[in-house]
Structure 1
Amino acid sequence: MLIAQVSDIHAAPENDHLLRFDQALTWLKHLQPDILVLTGDLTDGHWHEGYKKIAARLNQQKYPSLILPGNSDDRCLMRSVWGENRWAHDPQGEALHFIHDAGNIRLIGLDSSIESEDYGSVAGHLEWLDKQLNAAGDTPSLLFLHHHVFASGIPTLDETMCRDLAEMEDLIKHSTGRLMAISTGHVHRPISGLFAGIPAYICGSVCPANPAWFGTVNVPPANDPPALMIHHFTSNSLACHHICV
């Protein structure tokens, strides 16, 4: 099972980020993954046409796609382009979560975005998450969010990471479901860490990367090409690859 992840396109009329997204899709044609997960920040500035352009590109692929919103996204516009049935039912009424059972693994997407805020939160969604993890039974799960769940060390970005994480950590540690890993976006850098004792990843961005800056006087340059991740699940084992294209 090959699960591709793309994050943080940030497409807008004044930038070339859709062309950078095309680079990622061109690379994926060689791989032909089983599914593509987009972990938010698809467009900037409520660009309705941008969502349509992304949807048109996804419709040309031979594999299906799953989509989460990020802090720069507009849920109403996303619904207008992809329809209500694209996402799982949310008792809260606003969040765009997803569930996808892909044979021997369950893919869970949790919408961590907060209206008009750059930071994220899992508050109000943990009962739903617990239900999805437990419903998987013996089938392992892979959890996706937009906002990162462990500190990257980049001060300005960690100010807007996901909040209410102590409750989610406790939930994961006591869940009867088997969560193999968590993968997010938001930071615009490929990073690996731990959360609740399991592997956690931050996918690099399609848009230009942020520098690996840790609050020092000097800021290192960042000239990274568009990035994505490939999650390779086979024989009940998961390997996660950071790819530059």
Structure 2
Amino acid sequence: MILAQLTDLHIKEEGRLAYRKIDTSAALEAAFAHLRTQTTRPDLVLFTGDLVDTGRPEEYARLRTHLAGLDIPFFLMPGNHDDRAALRAAFLDHAYLGREGDRICYIIEHLPLRIIALDSLVPGQGGGALGEGQLDWLAARLAEQPDRPTLVALHHPPFATGIGHMDQIGLADSAAFAEIIARHPQVERVLSGHVHRPIHARWAGTIASIAPSTAHQVALDLRPDAPSAFVLEPAGYQLHHFTPGAALTSHTAIVGDWAGPFPFFDEEGRLIE
């Protein structure tokens, strides 16, 4: 199976640019167009938060218009820029989001790889937390199927990246989260977004990763006091490839109209098989 992970869309109302510079809607459509060029169609698209920029109903309405053109099953998750009530109201037909309550957490069971989606949104804050109740829920769900390969997803990464201003708004209860993940070796990967860069780390006995944004990227500046800034590097998304009995592998796709693919030839012009 192939899971496409898209994150940090930051969709705005029509006519508005993110940070007065980025047309996030055009960027998302470009990402969808690039996704359609994949020679193997993804089985599922998982959007790991910051679906819109300010959580306004008008932004979710525009997001819904974009998603109407996506011909692959998809699931939505909230990030710190989202609003749970507005998200649920805009996607009433997505029953997994629930109708009320605090957290939007759910399990996707019908694929070879079990997917557990968590909610790290703390309203009014850039940083995130899972909370004791959701952590208990996660521990119980992992204990139900200890031998089934599982992927856990959330918006805020559970590890420090070295990008100081983003680490300051990271996951507050990452240590408690790590204790649970470390007890469950069936967790193949922990996926996240938030930092707008492709980053990987060994964490809690597994691999934790961050996908790039479909729009703008956070500046790669590892000084502890680096200012908060973004760059217009190429957008991207990740493809997670899983075969039962084999390793889960992850690939970062860079959005763009790139030349190729070209066959390989040696110096004499002979095709290299």
TM-score normalized with structure 2 length: 0.82
1:138 to partner: Cα distance: 2.0
1:160 aligns with 2:169: yes
The answer as to whether partners of 2:237 and 2:253 remain within 8 angstroms in 1 is yes
Aligned partner of 1:22 in structure 2 is: 29
The answer as to whether partners of 1:10 and 1:43 remain within 8 angstroms in 2 is yes
Stretches of 4+ aligned residues off by more than 6 angstroms: 216-221
Deviations 1:104-157 (A, max 9, x none): 211111001101111011222111111222223422111110001111100000
Give the partner amino acid of 1:173: A
The answer as to whether partners of 1:41 and 1:73 remain within 8 angstroms in 2 is yes
1:206 to partner: Cα distance: 1.4
Give the partner amino acid of 1:37: L
Q: Name stretches of at least 5 consecutive residues in structure 2 with no aligned partner.
A: 18-22, 256-273
Change in Cα spacing, 1:243 to 1:129, as seen in structure 2 (3 Å) is same
From 115, 119, 131, give the equivalent of 1:107: 115
Q: Name stretches of at least 5 consecutive residues in structure 1 with no aligned partner.
A: none
Aligned partner of 1:207 in structure 2 is: 215
Alignment of 1:163-242 (within 5 A): 163-175=172-184, 178-215=186-223, 222-236=231-245, 237-242=247-252
1:47 to partner: Cα distance: 2.8
Change in Cα spacing, 1:60 to 1:218, as seen in structure 2 (3 Å) is closer
Give the partner amino acid of 1:158: D
The answer as to whether partners of 1:155 and 1:215 remain within 8 angstroms in 2 is yes
Secondary structure in structure 1 of the residue aligned to 2:142: helix
Secondary structure in structure 1 of the residue aligned to 2:165: helix
TM-score normalized with structure 1 length: 0.91
1:85 to partner: Cα distance: 4.9
Alignment of 1:36-115 (within 5 A): 36-83=45-92, 85-87=94-96, 93-115=101-123
Identity of aligned pairs, percent? 30
Change in Cα spacing, 1:223 to 1:130, as seen in structure 2 (3 Å) is same
Q: CA RMSD in A?
A: 2.2
Aligned partner of 2:259 in structure 1 is: none
- Aligned pair count reads 243
Aligned partner of 2:148 in structure 1 is: 139
